[in-house]
């Protein structure tokens, strides 16, 4: 069986002893199937028992293991060591644009708060309708938002977004994607509440269409598209209110 | 239990946009706006010359736009605008989400290259019309 070795340079930060993060280098054996997460498990089990990182599902569903791999946001479970054959060292850092809590663990509470702000749930049209009754949705109605419903809140898009890097008020790609996803669900009646967030400078208009969030999204959600479509909805809402005021 | 929590916030360097090719490309795209502004000022200067010096405006304008510095500047500005157009058009399909037909059973969306080809066709036709109008006007 093939058994090669690869060096990993990991940004370590232990708040109880360190004032600032620093790099430490490890070497692990890997096979064709070894993911970055497998390599991290190997490092923790054999060389650095105090190494902290998040992971859970190991199959790109939970979004816990998002980190910077050679400067690019990726899920560690969905990225393979074999994809870095040409480089001598793989650098692992916590997600950019978030405070580092410890080693590869960062504090994503700002993103979570912003996602909560857009009310990412169905606000029923008829609140009196019993839950035992059907809410009909055709395949076409589903297709309107299906792509944007694949978000796993991993934070890769926030780590890639230069607008969020420079302005933490910007609500960010994942929140705006979920905002679009629920606004275009035919079972939902929350659009007026979400438009208030979308229309702000920190909403869709805070995006300058860099497009990198879509490049790095591990679930191919395409937040850039959702945000630009959101700008269209926001502009339409502005024109609608302009004519209403001037009537 | 004692808490050692001390979140570390990484510094954003002024050179952040040089750390990744995507960011550099984006900054160049945004930077082309400065050249567009300078071209607008050049056009404004031409208009002002015709108002201020109505008698020998043509001589002044021709001398001005034939100056090597102005020619080089206009070539750079044209290349910058072309770069902006290419990068902007490549992102434009993301701003449109249309089904292939209005049939209620249709679930397929129009592909990105449909919008990309349409944008380039419109650009070519518009450029050709402007070029022909200028040639015949002269």
A43-93 residue pLDDT tens: 999 999 999 999 999 999 999 999 999 999 999 999 999 999 999 999 999
A141 neighbors A186 (Cβ within 8 angstroms): yes
Does the CB of A50 have a partner CB in chain B at under 8 Å? no
Output the pLDDT for position A1.
43
A22 neighbors A11 (Cβ within 8 angstroms): yes
A9-34 residue pLDDT tens: 999 999 999 999 999 999 999 999 99
> Which of B4, B7, B89 to probe by mutation at the A interface, max A CB count within 10 Å?
B7
Nearest CA in chain B to A106: B7
- The dihedral over CA atoms of B46, B49, B54, B56, expressed in degrees to the nearest 10, equals -90
Does the CB of A139 have a partner CB in chain B at under 8 Å? yes
Give this prediction's pTM.
0.92
- The dihedral over CA atoms of A85, A86, A88, A94, expressed in degrees to the nearest 10, equals -80
* A12 beta partners: A22
CA distance A2 to chain B (A): 33
Measured between CB atoms, which of B8, B16, B19 is closest to A100?
A: B8
Between vectors from CA B43 to CA B41 and to CA B47, what angle results, nearest 5°?
110
Between vectors from CA A207 to CA A172 and to CA B32, what angle results, nearest 5°?
145
- List, in order of start, the domains of chain A with CATH numbers: 4-106 (3.10.20.30), 109-245 (1.10.1060.10)
B57-68 residue pLDDT tens: 999 999 999 999
B10-46 residue pLDDT tens: 999 999 999 999 999 999 999 999 999 999 999 999 9
For residues A201 and A171, give the distance between their C-alpha atoms in angstroms, rounded to a whole number: 9
Confidence of residue A247 (pLDDT cuts 50, 70, 90): low
Pair of tokens at residue B91? 């992102």
Counting residues of chain A whose pLDDT is more than 70, the rounded percentage is 99
A96-138 residue pLDDT tens: 999 999 999 999 999 999 999 999 999 988 888 887 888 889 9
For residues A161 and A213, give the distance between their C-alpha atoms in angstroms, rounded to a whole number: 6
For residue B137, CA distances in Å to B12, B54, B127, B130, B131 come to 53, 20, 15, 10, 10
For residues B129 and B138, give the distance between their C-alpha atoms in angstroms, rounded to a whole number: 14
């Amino acid at each position: 069986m093939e058994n090669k070795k690869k060096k990993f340079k990991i940004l370590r930060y232990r708040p109880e002893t360190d004032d600032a993060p620093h790099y430490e280098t490890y070497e692990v054996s890997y096979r064709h199937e070894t993911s970055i997460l497998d390599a991290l498990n190997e490092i923790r089990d054999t060389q650095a028992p105090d190494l902290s990182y998040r992971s859970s599902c190991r199959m790109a569903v939970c979004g816990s293991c998002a980190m910077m791999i050679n400067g690019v946001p990726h899920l560690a479970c969905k990225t393979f060591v074999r994809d870095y054959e040409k480089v001598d060292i793989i650098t692992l850092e916590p997600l950019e644009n978030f405070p580092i809590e410890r080693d590869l663990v960062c504090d994503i509470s700002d993103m979570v708060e912003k996602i909560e702000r857009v009310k990412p749930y169905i606000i029923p049209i008829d609140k009196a309708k019993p839950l035992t009754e059907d809410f009909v949705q055709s395949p076409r109605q589903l297709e309107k938002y299906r792509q944007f419903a694949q978000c796993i809140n991993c934070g890769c898009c926030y780590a890639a977004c230069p607008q969020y890097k420079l302005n933490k008020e910007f609500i960010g790609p994942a929140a705006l994607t979920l905002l679009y996803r629920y606004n275009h669900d035919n079972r939902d009646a929350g659009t007026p509440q979400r438009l208030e967030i979308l229309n702000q400078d920190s909403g869709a208009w805070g995006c300058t269409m860099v497009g990198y969030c879509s490049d790095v999204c591990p679930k191919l959600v395409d937040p850039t598209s959702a945000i630009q479509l959101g700008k269209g909805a926001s502009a339409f809402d502005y024109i609608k209110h302009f004519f209403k005021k001037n009537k | 239990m004692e808490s050692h929590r001390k979140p570390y916030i990484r510094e954003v360097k002024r050179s952040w946009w040089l750390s990744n090719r995507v960011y550099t490309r984006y900054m160049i795209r945004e930077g082309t706006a400065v050249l567009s502004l300078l071209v607008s000022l050049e056009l404004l200067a031409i208009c002002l010359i015709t108002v201020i010096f109505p008698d020998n405006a043509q001589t002044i304008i021709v001398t001005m736009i034939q100056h090597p510095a102005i020619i080089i500047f206009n070539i750079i500005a044209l290349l910058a605008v072309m770069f902006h157009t290419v990068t902007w058009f490549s992102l434009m399909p993301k701003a449109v989400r249309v089904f292939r037909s209005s049939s209620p059973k249709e679930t397929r969306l129009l592909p990105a290259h449909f919008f990309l080809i349409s944008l380039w066709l419109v650009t070519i036709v518009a450029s050709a019309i402007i070029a022909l109008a200028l040639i015949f006007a002269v």
